[in-house]
Amino acid sequence: MNERIRKLAEESYNEFYNVHIDLELFVELIVQECVNICFSEAKGHGMAFGEHCGIVIKEHFGVK
């Protein structure tokens, strides 16, 4: 998880809803969902595009 994720988490914090979540797991699940969309959309356009898109998303958010 990188600094961008931490910044987004800070921006979305609402003290009214004091909910504790595993932020790192939450981020990884969202990023993986985005990667899955890349692979799904890549069908018909070539899987290389989907793989590249997935790698770029993971790198951007610091998810392995």
Q: What is the pLDDT of residues 41-50, one digit of tens each?
A: 777 666 677 7
Q: Which domain holds residue 33?
A: 3-61
Predicted model pTM: 0.61
| Whole-number pLDDT of residue 47 | 67
- At 54, the pLDDT band (50, 70, 90 cuts) reads confident
Contact between residue 58 and residue 4 where contact means Cβ atoms under 8 Å apart: no
pLDDT, one tens digit per residue, over 6-34 is 777 777 776 777 777 777 788 888 888 88
Domain count, the chain: 1
Q: How many Cα atoms occupy the beta-carbon half-sphere of 60 within 13 Å?
A: 11
| Whole-number pLDDT of residue 53 | 83
Amino acid at 18: N
Q: Beta-carbon neighbour count of residue 45 at 10 Å?
A: 10
